[in-house]
Amino acid sequence: MDEAVRLEVRAEEVAAGRGASRAAVADYLRLEGVRKAFGSFEALRAIDLAIAHGEFVCFLGPSGCGKTTLLRIVAGLETQTAGRIVQAGRDISLLPPAERDYGIVFQSYALFPNLSVADNVAYGLVNRKVPKTKAAARVDELLKLVGLPGSGAKFPAQLSGGQQQRIALARALATSPGLLLLDEPLSALDALERVRLRQEIRSLQRKLGVTTIMVTHDQEEALSVADRIVVMNHGAIEQVGTPMEIYRDPATPFVADFVGKINVLSGRLRPGRELTIGASRFECVHDTDAERDVKIYLRPEDVLARPIAPGDANVFDGAIDKIEFLGSYCLVRVHADAMGAQPITVYLSLNFLAEQGLEVGSRLPLKLLPERMRFF
Amino acid sequence: MSAVLPASGARALRQRAHWSDRIAHATLAAIVAALVVFLALPLGLILVKAVQDKDGAFVGLANFASYLATPSLLQSFVNSVWVALLVTIVTVPLAFGFAYALARSCIPWKATFRTIALIPLLAPSLLSAISLIYWFGNQGAARGLVVALGFENIYGAPGIVVAECFAVFPHALMILLSALALADARLYEAADALGTSTARKFRTITLPGAKYGLISAALVSFTLVITDFGIPKVIGGNFNMLATDVFKLVIGQQDFQRGAVVGLFLLAPAVLTFGIDWLVQRRQTAMLTARAVPLKPRPARGFDALMLGYVGVVSALMLAMIGMAVFASFATYWPYNLTPSWKHYTMGFVDAEVGDAFLNSLKLAAGTAFFGTIVVFVGAYMLEKTRGADALRPLARLLAMLPMAVPGLVLGLGYIFFFNAADNPLHGLYGTLAILVVCTIVHFYTTGHLTAVTALKSLDAEFEAVSASLKVPFFKTFWRVTLPICTPTLVDIARYFFINAMTTISAVVFLYSPETKVAAIAILNLDEAGEAGAAAACAVLITAGSTVVTLLFLALGAWIERRTQAWRRPAAR
């Protein structure tokens, strides 16, 4: 089946979605109140989620947050305790995996070790009575697509981990599924290969336009490839948003903490857009009617060391406590009386440190960006 | 399809089964049904018979009371227990020493010693009893030794204990070998770095590491001895044990009720030891992590010499045992004319008994290996790799593990009760070769099952999920992927079934008919008829047959490995 045919089929399926609302057609995949309980343990609590056609969505969260369970429920490998799943206007809640429409890639690759690469990729085609020559052409096309042309005669054991995962991807895409499910596909690979393959997966997904869900516990991975990220914790969705929204505008302390580095400071919010930390007063953009204690969430890059002009608001002075060398940047912990004895961490470039001759014990001025502060 | 949004607390949703899932469920159900009919029901009937009188009326514990009131029967119980204990106490340390030498020293010819020690596995257990009679019996070659040691003769408890030690040794050895093979070199390196003495390392690292293996070996030894029938029958004389009692009560006196009581007495220790072993094994699994470094023994002249001496002596005893049976089977007229001749072999074949019996043995073994391997592997696959039918799975697991806890004698007893009943629709099976095949498959089901499960568990758990997502039904993946990967395991299972079917006596002794008599039974009959030479010849014949078949299986395995497992070798790049 080529791309055009596949899209046609998809359109037919969408049109055939009996009684499906307009919204259902717009959302390629919809989860409604999906719950999963293992005995008394609540693995997933009332998950509602809509994924648009062609979207690349990441389920992100710590281990045990339920992200893999949710993916397996979408795949039909587990059955939800309650709730409904609609794919392309078709209620698939209770369909067995074989009657759903998806391709899946696992962390373990799950390639059939005794079959050649070509036989692995063609595994789903053979069963659909695709003629041999057509299947072979499709295999060649897919191997080219994943950057491994001519490797069809090899056995999986003769390939590296990254190559094996590319073959697994080709196998999952061979039958042109409407949905691609990736279960921590990069976790078993080494760091360099991981970065390379995630970009390949991303561009492949763009090219094919296949709706994709990837499960990962690696925030950097999610931020770099996803159209939208679903951050999960304790079986519930904490936030759904674009990578930028998730990073810049975390909805909950958990999201702020889990994605990226962040300073957490205790302070007091007062009417008149005023914030006190310890004995010091700062400007903020958040107004409040009644004075209250808050936790201030501030990313290291939102505490500036330059440019600071004389007379700038929110400037304070501190002493360098510890410098963690990370390459071109350093993570610098600063002790400032203005922070009420709470250490604050900032990113400083190696050049800046050298220019200013800063080392542990040096003092420097810092500025808080009022519009970047988040309060919980 | 309507929306499915049950309020919380409502029944959990159930996925609809795919047609291919239904095939899997039906297959699983068929295997469970077969195990119920050929395992659970016969065993259940022993329980029933034990609380019934001859006419089938419920009598409560009356049979037990009458058993306990019979001093001779009670004596058998006591005999069985102390003999089994003594054999365990003697064999396990001996086997541990042997295993320790093979696993932890640098002695030469390890493979040869290992093979010699495992030979008894290829022979019917009563071969050692026959040999012992030729060595130490009334006309034995070294009879004086027995007298010198203060025994009147070898018949009875002394003979049983010695013969059982030989028969049980390889079983204990195999368990201890695998227990000692599981060693993490890093522990010993850490101990060396701390300047630990050899004795302390042995006490604090080696023994705790092999603890579960030792427990397992002791339990297996005890159970094997208490349920063995062949050895006490041949060399026991007037020394009665539970296993011989069962036979006498059921076949001799047709006293099914008290036979059932004795059967339960045999079942109890087996079930108990099985339970303990199972608990122990579960704790064993976490012992060794994937990162462990395998221990490589280092040469130590004095220690290695000591170990070589010990292993040499034990191996010599093993060879003396096997060798005497072979020698005696060729001796024209023991002990007066020791000229080698084929007399006992030709005589056996001429009166056709041994020839037919040997042929029956081969048929039984081939049938057991063929059908047993299929059933066991398909059953293990359905259990491990398919989804749904969750209610059936715990039952299937239990039934697959149960045979390990059931002595063959007890299983055979259950078969008589069940299939000999005239109103059983399966009564027609009684006395056929088919029932011997079925009984032998069930008898050795668990080991085959566990071997298959281990092999299946080593496969990626997501093969079936991937297949389903590609719309390939599970049986195609079974055929194209699982089966080819597991062929070496299949060969192992088939070999295990074949060898055990060749040598087993315990279950089939209740079930054979004149037409289906197997060679291992023929030994018993010949021995009873005073044809000791022919009995030895028959035992040797079985051992030789088993050896040839083992070699054939090994060759087949190597050939299959070459033909189908090319993908395992990444070097072919």
ipTM, 2 decimals? Answer: 0.83
pLDDT higher than threshold 70 for residue B289: no
**Which residue type, as a one-letter code, is found at position B335?**
P
Question: CB A113 to CB B472 under 8 A?
Answer: no
Identify the domain containing residue B552 by its residue range: 19-51+350-565
Question: What band does B372 get if pLDDT is binned at 50, 70 and 90?
Answer: very high
Contact B16 A108 (CB under 8 A): no
Q: Of the ranges A31-45, A99-113, B215-229, B347-361, which one carries the lowest mean pLDDT score?
A: B347-361
Q: Residues of chain A with pLDDT > 70: what percent?
A: 93
Confidence of residue B569 (pLDDT cuts 50, 70, 90): low
Does residue B572 register a pLDDT over 70?
A: no
Is the model's pLDDT at B406 over the cut of 80?
Answer: yes
Structure tokens at B329: 């089977």
Same domain flag for B274 and B397 = no
Cβ contacts of A114 on chain B, cutoff 8 Å: 481, 484-485, 564-565, 567
Residue A20 has pLDDT above 70, yes or no: no
Would you say B140 and B154 are in contact if contact means Cβ atoms under 8 Å apart? yes
Q: Are residues B285 and B376 in the same domain?
A: no
For residue B345, being part of any structural domain is answered with no
pLDDT tens column, A338-362: 888 789 999 999 999 999 999 999 9
A338 three-state secondary structure: helix
Alpha carbons B320 and B322: distance in angstroms, whole number: 6
Domain edge (last residue) among B272, B295, B327: B327
For the segment B454-479, the average pLDDT, to the nearest whole number, is 92
The tokens describing A285, both together, are 């953009």
Are A175 and B470 in contact (CB < 8 Å)? yes
pLDDT tens-digit map of B410-438: 999 999 999 988 888 998 898 899 999 99
Does residue A274 contact residue A281 with C-beta atoms inside 8 Å?
yes
- Do B91 and B41 lie in one domain? The reply is no
With bands split at pLDDT 50, 70 and 90, how would you rate the model's confidence at A146? very high
Domain positions in chain A are 3-102+177-258, 263-375
pLDDT in tens, B188-227: 888 888 988 888 988 888 888 888 889 889 988 998 899 8
Residue whose C-alpha is closest to residue B230's, from B483, B470, B441, B523 = B523
What does the pLDDT read at residue B168? 94
Q: Answer yes or no: is B27 within a domain.
A: yes
Summarised one tens digit per residue, pLDDT across range A205-228 is 999 999 999 999 999 999 999 999
Query: What predicted TM-score, i.e. pTM, was given to this entire model?
Result: 0.86
pLDDT of residue B350: 65
pLDDT at B5: 44
pLDDT at B97 over 50: yes
- Select the residue of B6, B481, B573 nearest A158 (Cβ to Cβ): B573
B432 and B321 in one domain? Answer: no
* Element holding A365 (H helix, E strand): strand A363-368
For an interface test with A, the pick among B19, B466, B471 (most A C-beta atoms closer than 10 Å) comes out as B466
Tell me which of B293, B327, B361 is where a domain ends: B327
Tell me how far apart the alpha carbons of residues A27 and A7 are, in angstroms, rounded to a whole number: 16
B13 vs A81, A124, A175: nearest CB: A81
| Cα gap B473→B390, rounded to integer Å | 19
Q: Using an 8 Å CB-CB cutoff, list chain A residues near B573.
A: 154, 158
Instruction: Please return the burial class of B29, using the count of CB atoms within 10 Å of its CB with bins 0-12, 13-18 and 19+.
Output: middle
Contact flag B460-A84 (C-beta cutoff 8 Å): no
Look at residue B297 in the predicted model and tell me its pLDDT.
85
User: Which residue of chain B is at minimal alpha-carbon distance from A38?
Assistant: B12
Average pLDDT of the residues in B55-67? 86
Structure tokens at B360: 């029956």
| B481 neighbourhood in chain A, CB within 8 Å | 112, 114-115
CA distance A371 to A284: 7
Does residue B570 sit within a domain?
no
Please report which confidence band the pLDDT of residue B98 belongs to, taking 50, 70 and 90 as the band edges. Answer: very high
Contacts of B483 in chain A (CB under 8 A): none
The residue to which tokens 């056996």 are assigned? B348
Residues of chain B neighbouring A93 (CB-CB closer than 8 A): 1, 4, 13
Supply B26's token pair.
């039906």
Confidence at A3, pLDDT banded by 50, 70, 90: very low
Residue A6's pLDDT is 44
Lowest mean pLDDT among A177-186, B141-150, B459-468: B141-150
Whichever domain contains B263, its CATH number is 1.10.3720.10
Per-residue pLDDT at A77: 94
Rounded mean pLDDT of chain B?
88
Banded model confidence at residue A19, pLDDT cuts 50, 70, 90: very low
Q: How many CB atoms lie within 10 A of CB A241?
A: 18
- Is residue A10 predicted with pLDDT exceeding 80? no
Mean pLDDT over B8-28 rounds to: 85
For residues B137 and B227, membership in a common domain is answered with yes
CA distance A179 to A112: 22
Residue of chain A nearest B566, judged by CA positions: A114
Q: Are the C-beta atoms of residues A302 and A366 closer than 8 Å to each other?
A: no
Q: How far apart are CA A54 and CA A208, in angstroms?
A: 9
- Cβ distance A91 to B484 less than 8 Å, yes or no, reads no
Say yes or no for a CB contact (<8 Å) between A128 and B471.
yes
Q: What is the total count of domains within chain B? A: 2
Question: B472, A123: Cβ pair inside 8 Å?
Answer: yes
Over residues B127-146, the mean pLDDT reads: 86
Q: What is the largest CA-CA distance in chain A?
A: 78
Residues of chain B in contact with residue A177, where contact means CB-CB under 8 angstroms, are 469
CB within 8 Å: B1 and A106: no
pLDDT in tens, A269-294: 998 888 988 888 888 888 888 889 99
State the count of interchain CB pairs (< 8 A) between A and B: 133
Contact A82 B8 (CB under 8 A): yes
Does B284 fall in a domain?
yes
B465 vs A75: CB contact, 8 Å cut-off?
A: yes
**Residue whose entry in the numeric block shows the structure tokens 């055929």:** B479
CB–CB of A263/A299 below 8 Å? yes
Residues in B whose CB is inside 8 Å of some CB of A read 1, 3-6, 8, 10, 12-18, 20-21, 460-463, 465-473, 476-477, 480-481, 484-485, 564-570, 572-573
List chain A residues with CB under 8 Å of B3.
32, 84, 91
Tell me if B343 is assigned to some domain: no
In a shared domain, residues B457 and B551: yes
Do the Cβ atoms of B124 and B503 come closer than 8 Å? yes
Task: Decide if A3-102+177-258 and A263-375 have a common fold.
Answer: no
- Coil/strand/helix, residue B533: helix
Would residue B340 count as lying in a domain? no
**Number of Cβ within a 10 Å radius of residue B449:** 24
Q: Is the domain A263-375 a CATH 3.30.40.10 member? A: no
Question: Same domain for B310 and B225?
Answer: yes
Q: How confident is the model at residue A17 (pLDDT cuts 50, 70, 90)?
A: very low
Per DSSP, A142 falls in state: H
Chain A interface test: which of B18, B385, B469 (most A C-beta within 10 Å) = B469
Which one of A1, A109, A116, A123 makes the best mutation probe of the B interface by having the most chain B beta carbons within 10 Å? A123
Mean pLDDT of chain A: 89
Three-state DSSP class for A181? strand
**What is d(CA B224, CA B240) in angstroms, rounded to the nearest whole number?**
16
Same domain, B203 and B320: yes
Q: How far apart are CA B227 and CA B244, in angstroms?
A: 9
Report residue B331's pLDDT band, with 50, 70 and 90 as the boundaries. Answer: confident
Sign of CA dihedral B552, B554, B557, B562: negative
CATH fold label, A3-102+177-258: Rossmann fold (3.40.50)
Query: A102, A114, A129, A176: which to substitute to probe chain B, counting the most B Cβ within 10 Å?
Result: A114
> Is residue B485 included in any domain, yes or no?
yes
Chain B neighbors of A94, CB-CB under 8 A: 1, 4, 13-16
